[in-house]
Structure 1
Amino acid sequence: MASRPTDLSLYVGLMSGTSLDGTDGVVFDAASLAVIGHVHAPFPAALREELLALNTPGPNELHRAALAANAVARSYADVVAQLLEATGRRRDEIAAIGAHGQTVRHQPGGFEGYTSQLLNGALLAEQSGIDVVCDLRSRDVAAGGQGAPLVPAFHRAVFSTEGQDAAVLNLGGISNLSLLFADGRTGGFDCGPANCLMDGWIARHQGRAYDADGAWAATGRVSPALLATLLAEPFFALAPPKSTGRDLFHLGWLQTRLVPGLAPQDVQATLLELSARCVADALHTHMPGARQVIACGGGALNGRLMQRLSDLLPGVAVQSSAARGLPVDQVEAAAFAWLAQCFKEKRPGNLPAVTGAAGLRRLGCLYPA
C-alpha cells in the first residue's frame, strides 16, 4: 500500500449548529487559509425533529441519541462525498475531517460539567475513508473551561484588522462574539439567542423554518415590557467566560415570560430586538472601542437584524464576512477544519482567556481512516 503523504494542507470542516438547518461542509486549504469548496445539506426532517427533541429530557434517550449520532455521521459522510466530487479532490488528498457534531446538551462548569455533540466519529471515518477529528469541546470543559466559543483564534487568523479593535459576530442559533483587540489580545463569549427563539416562534405560528430577512418581525411592534422581561435573564449579566445554548434559550423559557395580549408578530419583533440588543450591550461593555463588526452565520442574512445591529452600534461598521472574502455560511465550517489542523499538528486549539480553561489544550479525538 502506498504511504499517505505527511504534508497535506487540505482539510474538510463540517459544522451543524444550534439552528439545526443542516450541515455546512468546506474543503479548506490550511496553507492559504482559503475555502476551495462548499456544500450545504439540510437535515432530513425526521432527523432534525429528533435532534431538536433530544435537547430536552425524554424517554429512551440513550438509544435514540445513539441512532441520531449514526444518522448525523451518515449525513456528514454524504456531504464529504459531495465536497470531493465538487472540488475534484481524492480522499487521500485530505489530511483530516474536522467534524463538530450536533450539540444536544451543553452544561459546562466544574468536575460535573459536560458538553454533548452527537456524532459517531468511527462511522464517519469508516464511510469517508478519511481521518476524523471530533469531540472538539470536551477537553476544554474537562480543563474547567466553557468549551465555547472555540472560534476566536481562527477569527484572529483570518479577520484581524491591524491597529483597530474589531469583533467577529456569529449569528447562529446562539450568538457569539470574538473580540480582536488591536493590542493583540483576543476575547470571546456567547451573547445569547440569535436565531433559535425566532426560528422556533415562526415555526409554531406559521410553519416556516425561519423568518426570511426578518420580514414577519417587520410587521410587528417591539413590546418594551416583554423585552425588559427577557433582558432580565441572569445570563446576560454574567461576566465572561460564559457560554449557553438551547438548554437555556428555548420556547419553554420564552413561554414563561410572555406578556398577555401580544400578537404573534409583536413577539417576533421583540425576539429580533432581543437578539440585536444582547449583542450590542455585550459589545458596549466588553469592547467599547470597536470600530468594525464582521458578521457571519445565518443571521447575517437577516437584513432587519443586521439593520438593528447597525442602529444600536453607531460609529461601528457592521458588515458581512463575505466582504472579507469568506461567505457567512462557510466561516464556522472552516474554523473546525482549522481546529482539525491544530490537532494533527499537535497544537492547542483553545484560548484559556476566552473559555476559562486551566490552560492550553489539544482539542479533539482522532478516528483514523
Structure 2
Amino acid sequence: MGALYIGLMSGTSLDGVDAVLADFATPPGRVLGHVARTFAAPLRAELLALNSSGTDELHRAALAANALAECYAQAVQALLQQTGVSAQAVRAIGAHGQTVRHRPQAFDGTGYTLQLNNPALLAERTGITTVADFRSRDVAAGGQGAPLVPAFHWDLFGQPGRTVCVLNVGGIANLSVLGADGSVLGFDCGPGNALMDHWCQQHLGRPYDDNGAWAASGQVLPALLQALQAEPFLALPPPKSTGRDLFHPQWLQQRLHAAPAANPADVQATLAELTASACAASARSYGNESKLLIVCGGGAHNGHLMRRLAALLPGWAVESSAQHGLPPLQVEAAAFAWLAQRCMNGLAGNLPRVTGAAGPRILGAIYPA
C-alpha cells in the first residue's frame, strides 16, 4: 500500500488553501512538497458570509463547495507538478473542507459541525481517492469534533520525558500539551487571527496585519481588553472548541463600547493582546511545567504576537515550528494527510481525552478515485 498522501487545509483565517505531499513510509512522515493558493476575493467573501445565516443558503453553500473543490484540485495539480509525482502514486487526499458552522453538543445535545466541501468532485477532478468529513464522527460520538491535530502533533513534536506545548494560531488558536509521559491534551484557546484580520481589513483594506506591525504601533486599551477577556468561553475547562460562530465581527462590535472613539491601531494592539493572553494563560494552566511553546499556523509569522507570547511566558522558549522540522503553514495540511492515512488504514484519528468523544473512532468518509 502506498505511503504518499496529500493534505489540504483551508482554515478559519479564510486566506486560502495549503496543500502538502507527505510520505508516511517512516513515522512521523516527511513533507515532500508544499503549495499555497489564495482564495479569489468572491469565494473568500462568500465563505465568510456563509458563516452567518442568510438568504438561499443551501444553494449558495453548494456552489461555494464546488468552487472550493475546484480550488483544491488546482492546488493538487500544482503540487504534483512541483514534486514530479503522478496522481496514481498518491494513495489518498485528506481534504478538511471549509468550516462554516461549528456547534457541537448544541441545540439537541449532539449538535453539528459543518465543513463545506465537494469531495466527490475533488476525486473526479484529480483521479485520487479523497477522504473528507473528518469531524462529524467524533461529534456523533459525543465529542467536540475538534481539535483533531493534537494526535499528529504528538507524532511530530512529542519528546518522551519532556512536556512540550504546541500552539496553532489560525483564525482560532488551539493548544496541544504533549506530556512527558505520552499523554496528550488539546483544546481551542480562543481567537487567533480572525478578529485581527477582520479589523485590519476594515480599517486598512488589507487581509492581515503583516508581521503584526500595525498592532505594534498601537497601545493596549485596558478597559477594552478586560471587556474582551470577560468572554465566558475563555474560562471554560477543556474539552472545548470554538470558531467564527462565537468570535465574529458582531462579537467585537458589542464590546467596543468599552473603548469609545478609540484609535484603530490601539484596538488592533488590544486584539493581539487578547490572542496572546488567552494562549499564554492556556499554556500556563495546562502546560504541566513545560518551558517550550512551538508555534505553527499563520500566527507564527506575526512577529508582534510571537514577542507578546514570549513576554507573557517568562522562562519559556517560544519558537516557530520551522525550528522543529516543519514550517508553520505546512503543519495543519500535513495533519490532514496524516488523518487520511489513518482512515485508509482503518485506524482511529481522534483522541477522546482531547475531544470528549466516547472513544476512539475512525474519522473520515472515503470517496474512491
What's the TM-score once normalised by structure 2's chain length? 0.97
Given that residues 104 and 112 in structure 2 are in contact (C-alpha distance below 8 angstroms), is that contact kept between their aligned partners in structure 1? yes
* 2:174 aligned residue (140, 161, 176): 176
Where do residues 252-267 of structure 1 align in structure 2 (5 Å cutoff)?
252-258=250-256, 259-267=259-267
Residue matched to 2:12:
18
Where do residues 1-369 of structure 1 align in structure 2 (5 Å cutoff)?
7-32=1-26, 33-109=29-105, 111-258=109-256, 259-369=259-369
Partners of 2:145 and 2:255 lie apart in 1 by: 29
Closer, same or farther: CA 283–235 of 1 in aligned 2, 3 Å: same
Partners of 2:234 and 2:324 lie apart in 1 by: 29
Given that residues 141 and 147 in structure 1 are in contact (C-alpha distance below 8 angstroms), is that contact kept between their aligned partners in structure 2? yes
Partners of 1:288 and 1:308 lie apart in 2 by: 21
Q: CA RMSD in A?
A: 0.7
**Unmatched tracts of structure 2, length 5 or more:** none
| Displacement of 1:183 | 1.1
- 1:234-270 Cα deviation digits (max 9, x unpaired): 0001110000000000111000001212111110000
Partners of 1:289 and 1:133 lie apart in 2 by: 37
**Unmatched tracts of structure 1, length 5 or more:** 1-6
What's the TM-score once normalised by structure 1's chain length? 0.97
Given that residues 111 and 142 in structure 1 are in contact (C-alpha distance below 8 angstroms), is that contact kept between their aligned partners in structure 2? no
- State, as a whole percentage, how many aligned pairs show the same letter: 62
| Displacement of 1:283 | 1.2
Number of residues of Structure 1 aligned to a counterpart in Structure 2 = 363
* 2:128 aligned partner, one-letter code: I
Secondary structure at the counterpart of residue 150 of structure 1: coil
| Displacement of 1:290 | 1.1
Partners of 1:280 and 1:186 lie apart in 2 by: 18
Partners of 1:184 and 1:325 lie apart in 2 by: 20
- 1:177-231 Cα deviation digits (max 9, x unpaired): 0110101110000001110000000100110000001111111100111101100
- 1:85-142 Cα deviation digits (max 9, x unpaired): 1000011100100000000000001644100000001000000100000000000001
Given that residues 143 and 358 in structure 1 are in contact (C-alpha distance below 8 angstroms), is that contact kept between their aligned partners in structure 2? yes
Partners of 2:134 and 2:182 lie apart in 1 by: 25
* 2:194 aligned partner, one-letter code: C
